[in-house]
Amino acid sequence: MNMKKSVLIAVASVAIGFFSTQAMAQTQDTTKKDTAKTTAAPAATSTAAASGDVVSVMATSTNFAPMALAIKSAQLEPTLQAPGPFTIFAPNDVAFSKLPKAQFDALMKDPAKFAPILKYHVVAGKYTKADIIKALGAGKGKADLKTIDGQTLHLSVNDKSNLQITDAKGNAVLVTAFDTEASNGVVHGINGIMMP
C-alpha cells in the first residue's frame, strides 16, 4: 500500500512539474482517451476554430514554415491534407537552421530520402498536451506513440520536467510548444529533427 501511494505521488509530481514548466506554451486542450502503447481513439471535436489542415497551419506559422516547405518538397502534402487525424511533432525554424545548408538542400531535392525522416515526425491520431500527460501517467512517466510508418517514438519527462521524445538513434528532442490546432489534427513544436 505504501509503495502504491509513492508511485501515485511520483506521477502526480511529474504531471505538476510538466504543467508548470510548460505554462508558457500554447494550449488549446481537447479531449481524447489514450494509453501508452495503444492505437489512437477517434479525435474529439476541437474547442477552437481550426484554420486549415496541419500543412496549411504550419505554412502560416513562422516557427513551422520550414517543416511545411519540407513536407511539400517530399511530396507528403496530399497525405497530410487527408482527414487524419494527425499529430505532428514539427521541428521549429531553429531546428531546421541547425542542419548544414548543403544537407538541407540535398534532402529538399531528394523526396525519397526526405519523406521517411519527415514521416517519423507524424503520428496517426490526435494527441493534445492533455492526452500526452494522461498517457505518461498511465505509463508511469513513459509513453510510446506510433508514427504513420509504424515506427515508435518514446516520450518521457526529463529531470527538468520537460517533455522529451527519444528517436530510434537515441537522440532526444524537447517539445517546446503545444496544441497548435488544425482541422485534421494538432501540431506540437520540437527543438530538433528526429531520425528514424
Residue 22 has pLDDT above 80, yes or no: no
104 domain residue, yes or no:
yes
pLDDT surpasses 60 at 132? yes
Burial class (CB in 10 A: 0-12, 13-18, 19+), 182: buried
Does residue 196 belong to any structural domain of this protein? no
In-domain check, residue 120: yes
Average of per-residue pLDDT across 31-51: 39
Kindly state whether residue 124 falls inside one of the protein's structural domains: yes
The pLDDT-based confidence of 168 (bands split at 50, 70, 90) is confident
In a domain? residue 74: yes
Structural domain count, the chain: 1
In this prediction the pTM is 0.75
126 lies in a domain? Answer: yes
What is the mean predicted confidence (pLDDT) over 32-58? 53
Is the residue at 195 inside a domain?
Answer: no
Q: Is the pLDDT of residue 81 over 50?
A: yes
Spatial neighbors of 36 by CB under 8 A, at least 6 apart, are 135, 136, 138, 139, 142, 143, 144
107 occurs within a structural domain: yes
- Residue range 175-183: mean pLDDT, rounded: 95
Give me the half-sphere count of Cα atoms (radius 13 Å) on the Cβ side of residue 135: 28
pLDDT at 62: 86
Mean pLDDT of 122-141: 94
Q: Is residue 3's pLDDT more than 60? A: no
CATH of the domain at 48: 2.30.180.10
Range of the domain at 69: 2-190
* Strand, helix or coil for residue 94: helix
Among 195, 190, 183, 167, smallest CA distance to 64 is for 190
